[in-house]
Chains A and B, each alone.
Chain A
Amino acid sequence: MSDVVEPALLEVSGLNAWYGAAHILFDVALQVRRGEVISLMGRNGAGKSTTLKAIMGLLARRDGQIRFMGRDIAAKEPFQVARMGLGFVPEDRRIFPDLTVTENLETGRQQLRHWPDGSPALNWTPDALYELFPNLGRMQGRRGGQMSGGEQQMLTIARTLMGNPFLVLLDEPSEGVAPVIVEQMAHMILSLKARGASILLSEQNFHFAQLVSDRAYVLEKGQIMYEGSMRELAENDDIQRNYLGV
């Protein structure tokens, strides 16, 4: 790695989280560097979504160190975290059903950001997003509630990109959508990556993850069981069998 001098974009350590009295995450630690696409893998219920929500500040109870671009965000409200340039795409999409596609995008809009070195972050406009997601471009006036699952999935990603985030937390983009859409998602992520976007992806679909990501963390029962490059994970049958059910 050449960029050791630059601090990691996102640095999580000792992250614990609870739902009510149920302790879900145990000392989760992970890092994402600028330009990386990282997969957070694990079976259903392993704690992937909980990890992403905990980072965003969406849980009632969490504990641990979370640093984003060198700043401590562990005590910040979700809207503050989002305004610092951390985008979040929830797994259940949470489209605003009464709002049109254009209006849904509007809810995510934030101003252009610059990296600490002065270079501009990706700057998204509705038109640029309609180019990235041609389907959305064809239904700009349609209400979110009247779209298919795959279309909603694209819209929820586009909506988060409108915030011009430095890093996107993307929760299971391939879940519950048709295979053609999964393919489009993969292309979309690769194209984002080619433009320099950084993504922390939660994913159960091994092939999908293998296609798009550089490194992976594997979660099981709220604990990180493995971390390493995607290539090593692809060759590690034990981990795949024990924690990913491949």
Chain B
Amino acid sequence: MDLYALLAQLLNGLAEASALFLVAAGLSLIFGVSRIVNFAHGSFFMLGMYVAHSLIERLGGGSWRVMGFWGALLLAALVVGLLGALVEMLLLRRIYKAPELFQLLATFALVLVFNDAALWIWGPEDLLGRRAPGLAGAVQLFGRAYPSYNLVLIVVGPAILGLLWVLLTRTRWGVMVRAATHDREMLGALGVNQAWLFTGVFALGCMLAGLGGALQLPREPASLGRDLTTIGDAFVIVVVGGMGSIPGAYLAALLIAEVKSICIGLGTVQLASITISFSKLTLVVEFLIMAVVLVVRPWGLLGRPQATNRHAAPVEAPLRRGSGRYAVAITVSLLAMAALPLLNQSLPYAAVLGQDVLVAILFVVSLHFMMGPGGMHSFGHAAYYGLGAYGAAILVKAAGLPMPLATLAAPLLAGLGAMLFGWFCVRLSGVYLAMLTLAFSQIVWSVVFQWDAVTGGSNGMIGIWPDEWLSGTRYYYLTLVIVALSAYVLRRFLFAPFGYALRAGRDSPLRADAIGIDVKRVQWLAFVIAGVFGGLAGTIYVFSKGSVSPDVISVGKSVDGLVMVLLGGIQALTGPIIGAAVFGVLQDSVMRATDYWRALFGGIILFLVLAFPQGLAGISLQIRSWWQHPRMAMTAERQEKLT
């Protein structure tokens, strides 16, 4: 790559950084003030693209087209900002005091709803936007043609950064926003109505995302997949830059965009006898950067340790041992699951769904093990599921191991992965830990995706079936036994001294440390155990399907697990089981009922979040308390409002 080519790539990076920055800045701002990790932020970006497309079609023609074009972009940003304000007022306001992860779940439901809304309004086809009038061509730079529109983008990033800086430091509103970032309760006691501050910040953040999307339209078509790719990038940038830091977001956007551009510029390089494909590295390079930054500077490049959240959710209630009735319920469920294959005649599909639900239960129970009692929130549990699945496939296919041996060995492989990643992860906590787990799972994903020779790349691997004597219904029963045993073993762990130490470390790391518990070690061990059982789920999965593809390690898979844990309720041990079963059946039935299953599914999640902030497993508790102490429940609710 010669010098001019390098310069051109660097310019590309600058343009790319602007778009990334706009989304990330909004996300960071929102997180800083409201502590809400807005999963739907990428959706606002996507909506910005679509709305801009529609507006430009209407306003961008005729003799006023220059003004119409730019006016349409700004208008699109405003529309998206307004939508953000509505979301904040109608939804988020009701759940600020819910546990952090519930807020995440609610915003995730919004992703589903917005995606289907866009599908309904704009259809499934990608929509190519008009070029900016007068900027459709290229300019000569360093002897090459360079798209002139990119020059606009290059300027927009720093300009918005400057405007935000002025807004935050030179206006009363900005001072309030910065104060709220640190201690919103105190700000309230000084007479500031936080509700409107939050609405304003959320609207501004969404407007920035919408603007980012609108500005991107002349460069790439609006598409329905843009919500999730955008939120992935934005999370990474916010974490690398430091959550809540706007200059940090620009720095991180610049760093990542430039490194990516250089990778593309380098292409495939021959070093000694090794061929390195740098362009393929772009898939993972941002996660590599994030992993390094989180390990070296856990608060991000320009971030600072998170202020203790004074509005933290209440301390988790102690786990209760099951009663006699509980044992009856378990037995009945097991018997019911065991009876499923008997329905083969009338409901041939039931056993297939049952198999999937069982695998999901194991996956989610293992995730819950580290999230609930362990207090470590993972956004990347699919990594271990995938290691188990691919591990088994490779051991059987490439190493020629017999299937039972592979079934034993593959989860251990996943455990090794968890051991390596967990060592880094347990050094962090909260959102940062979650982000690092996400980074590691993306790294695993991209290795699997690109290592064609061993993993089959994007095609995956096929023909991985259980031995003859274990096929069909027998495999279903094997699964049932393994899942039940695993759930039992994980439960036993929690009521052993190890489990007490784990929960002590979650509730009060300092005090646990003071009584001689090596909190990090205990958490590391929990991480590994969760990895092994997550891997076991993947192993069972691969033999039940006979094939595996990189999708099993995708962010979507991790998010599914998260949703199941939260649906079931994080405080109850039966939560993940209920969550996985409800999720599986719901998804299956909703998917077959309508084309807009995502919206319906999202709507159901939103309803559940608003109605049962303790999760589904909390329903029975909630109903019982209403029944037994109607008056107490009412006062408790009133007091909630007073908080």
Q: Does A213 sit within 8 A of B, measured CB to CB? A: no
Known: A106-B172, A106-B175. A88 touches B187 (CB 8 A): no
Q: In the complex, what's the smallest C-beta–C-beta distance from B261 to chain A, in angstroms?
A: 33
Assess whether A97 is in contact with B182, with CB atoms less than 8 Å apart: yes
| In-complex Cβ contact of B179 among A62, A79, A99 (8 A) | A99
Mask for A99-130, Cβ within 8 A of B = 1, else 0?
10001101111100000000000000000000
Assess whether B190 is in contact with A108, with CB atoms less than 8 Å apart: yes
Q: Does A69 sit within 8 A of B, measured CB to CB? A: no
Assess whether B185 is in contact with A79, with CB atoms less than 8 Å apart: no
Q: In the complex, what's the smallest C-beta–C-beta distance from B131 to chain A, in angstroms?
A: 43
| In-complex Cβ contact of B188 among A62, A77, A104 (8 A) | A77
Across the interface, name the chain A residue whose C-beta is closest to B183: A94
Q: In the complex, what's the smallest C-beta–C-beta distance from B325 to chain A, in angstroms?
A: 26
Contacts of A78 in B (CB 8 A): 185, 188-189
Residues B611-643 near A (CB distance < 8 A):
639-640, 642-643
Across the interface, name the chain B residue whose C-beta is closest to A93: B186
Assess whether A60 is in contact with B172, with CB atoms less than 8 Å apart: no
Assess whether B175 is in contact with A103, with CB atoms less than 8 Å apart: yes
Q: In the complex, what's the smallest C-beta–C-beta distance from A216 to chain B, in angstroms?
A: 25
Q: Does A42 sit within 8 A of B, measured CB to CB? A: no
- Most chain B C-beta atoms within 10 Å of own C-beta, residue among A20, A78, A106: A78
Known: A57-B642, A60-B643, A78-B185. A96 touches B179 (CB 8 A): yes
Distance in angstroms between the alpha carbons of A58 and B183 in the assembled complex = 13
Known: A99-B175, A106-B175. A160 touches B642 (CB 8 A): no
Q: Does B264 sit within 8 A of A, measured CB to CB? A: no
Known: A61-B639, A96-B182, A96-B183. A160 touches B175 (CB 8 A): no
Q: Does A168 sit within 8 A of B, measured CB to CB? A: no
Distance in angstroms between the alpha carbons of A99 and B537 in the assembled complex = 50
Q: In the complex, what's the smallest C-beta–C-beta distance from A231 to chain B, in angstroms?
A: 33
Distance in angstroms between the alpha carbons of A60 and B635 in the assembled complex = 12
Binds A, one of B88-96, B191-199, B526-534: B191-199
Contacts of A82 in B (CB 8 A): 188-191
Distance in angstroms between the alpha carbons of A57 and B642 in the assembled complex = 7
| In-complex Cβ contact of B176 among A61, A94, A107 (8 A) | A107
Assess whether B639 is in contact with A60, with CB atoms less than 8 Å apart: yes
Q: In the complex, what's the smallest C-beta–C-beta distance from B532 to chain A, in angstroms?
A: 36
Contacts of A20 in B (CB 8 A): 314-315
| In-complex Cβ contact of A56 among B181, B182, B189 (8 A) | B189
Across the interface, name the chain B residue whose C-beta is closest to A77: B188
Q: In the complex, what's the smallest C-beta–C-beta distance from B99 to chain A, in angstroms?
A: 15
Q: In the complex, what's the smallest C-beta–C-beta distance from B313 to chain A, in angstroms?
A: 12
Q: Does A237 sit within 8 A of B, measured CB to CB? A: no
Contacts of A56 in B (CB 8 A): 189
Contacts of B190 in A (CB 8 A): 79, 82, 88, 107-108, 159-160, 163
Mask for A156-191, Cβ within 8 A of B = 1, else 0?
000110010000000000000000000000000000
Distance in angstroms between the alpha carbons of A62 and B176 in the assembled complex = 28
Assess whether A79 is in contact with B182, with CB atoms less than 8 Å apart: no
- Most chain A C-beta atoms within 10 Å of own C-beta, residue among B175, B178, B643: B175
Q: Does A211 sit within 8 A of B, measured CB to CB? A: no
Known: A96-B182, A107-B176, A107-B187. A79 touches B192 (CB 8 A): yes
Distance in angstroms between the alpha carbons of A97 and B183 in the assembled complex = 10
Distance in angstroms between the alpha carbons of A61 and B638 in the assembled complex = 9
Known: A62-B642, A94-B183. A79 touches B175 (CB 8 A): no
Assess whether B642 is in contact with A79, with CB atoms less than 8 Å apart: no
Mask for A53-96, Cβ within 8 A of B = 1, else 0?
00011111110000000000001011100110000101000101
Distance in angstroms between the alpha carbons of A79 and B186 in the assembled complex = 9
Distance in angstroms between the alpha carbons of A43 and B474 in the assembled complex = 70
Which A residues contact B (CB, under 8 angstroms)?
20, 56-62, 75, 77-79, 82-83, 88, 90, 94, 96-99, 103-104, 106-110, 159-160, 163
- Would you give 11 A-B contacts (Cβ < 8 Å), ordered by A? A57-B642, A78-B185, A79-B190, A79-B191, A90-B186, A90-B189, A94-B183, A96-B178, A98-B182, A107-B190, A163-B190
If A78-B189, A163-B190 are given as contacts, then 7 extra A-B residue pairs at C-beta distance below 8 Å, sorted by A number, are A60-B643, A79-B189, A79-B190, A79-B192, A106-B175, A107-B176, A108-B191
